[in-house]
Structure 1
Amino acid sequence: MDQEGADPNFTATAAMEADRVVVTVGGEVDMSTADVMFETSIRDGRPAATLDLRAVTFFDSAAIHALLRLAEHYGERLTVLPSPQVRRVLEISGLSTQPWLSD
């Protein structure tokens, strides 16, 4: 599943793996694309999610808000794979020690 009508510098695709949705996000996650990332992550109603952000080049406060909403939605069943840029933003935001953030 791909996003529709979003920024051309952004992609979000979902793949199902048993009871987990794996959402691969690329490009810039900002106020115009953060909701698409969130909706793509919850759309299929799976009880667990992996958010692969390793191809993300920009991550702003709207993206952080969407990520925190996903953490609230999935709880301990969320895994986030960050790019260096995302990890840096999460470090600055004080979120680098969250249990859902993968090394």
Structure 2
Amino acid sequence: MLVDQEGLDPNFSAVGEVTGDRVAVTVTGEVDMATADALFQAATPDRVTSASVDLRAVTFFDSAAIHTLIRLADHYPGALDVYPSDRVRRVLDISGLGDQPWLRAP
């Protein structure tokens, strides 16, 4: 499933692949105010109860992106895995979210 990204940064993509009741989302490019909702949409298809979000190819991550991860953690309590790039991990560490149970080693 590719979220409609018309008008978004051409270097951004959020592609979700559903297997059973789990979605695996691969994100590339910049996640910011303009693209964060597309990430949320890709990670929350119907009839899915868990998610993994691969952010290892993300080059920019701002407060809107952080808010999206918090929304996803609320949406999938105990069933979210996030794989951050070094850059994303640094932003999460600085923001005080570096010890969240949903963060995985890159």
SS at match of 2:16: strand
Among candidates 58, 61, 71, match of residue 60 of structure 2: 58
User: Larger helix proportion, structure 1 or 2?
Assistant: 1
SS at match of 2:78: helix
Residue 30 (structure 2) aligns with: 28
> Matched residues, percent identical?
58
State TM-score, norm by structure 1. 0.96
Among candidates 5, 9, 12, match of residue 10 of structure 1: 12
State TM-score, norm by structure 2. 0.93
Q: After the TM superposition, which of the residue ranges 66-75 and 42-51 deviates more from structure 2?
A: 42-51
CA–CA distance in structure 2, aligned partners of residues 54 and 45 of structure 1:
26
5+ residue gaps, structure 2: none
Distance apart, 1:95 and its partner CA: 0.4
Distance apart, 1:30 and its partner CA: 0.2
5+ residue gaps, structure 1: none
What amino acid is aligned across from residue 88 of structure 1 in structure 2? R
CA–CA distance in structure 1, aligned partners of residues 32 and 11 of structure 2:
11
Residue 98 (structure 1) aligns with: 100
> RMSD between aligned alpha carbons?
0.9
